């Protein structure tokens, strides 16, 4: 699905640059992505 590929791309992008800021944003993004995936299904 689009949402899942989008999520994997985001995670790849975030892991490329490891900054302390991202740790907090990652958690938010994971929640957000999960919501999006649930909506699409």
pLDDT in tens, the chain (41 residues): 577 888 788 778 777 766 666 667 778 888 888 887 787 76
d(CA 35, CA 23) in angstroms, rounded, equals 19
Write down the pLDDT at residue 36.
79
What is the H or E stretch that residue 5 is in? helix 2-16
Measure Cα distances from 11 to 36, 37 in Å: 15, 15
* Predicted TM-score (pTM) above 0.75: no
């Amino acid at each position: 699905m689009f949402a899942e590929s989008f999520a994997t791309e985001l995670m790849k992008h975030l892991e490329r640059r490891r900054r302390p800021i991202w740790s907090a944003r990652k958690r938010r993004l994971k929640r957000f992505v999960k919501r999006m995936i649930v909506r699409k299904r």
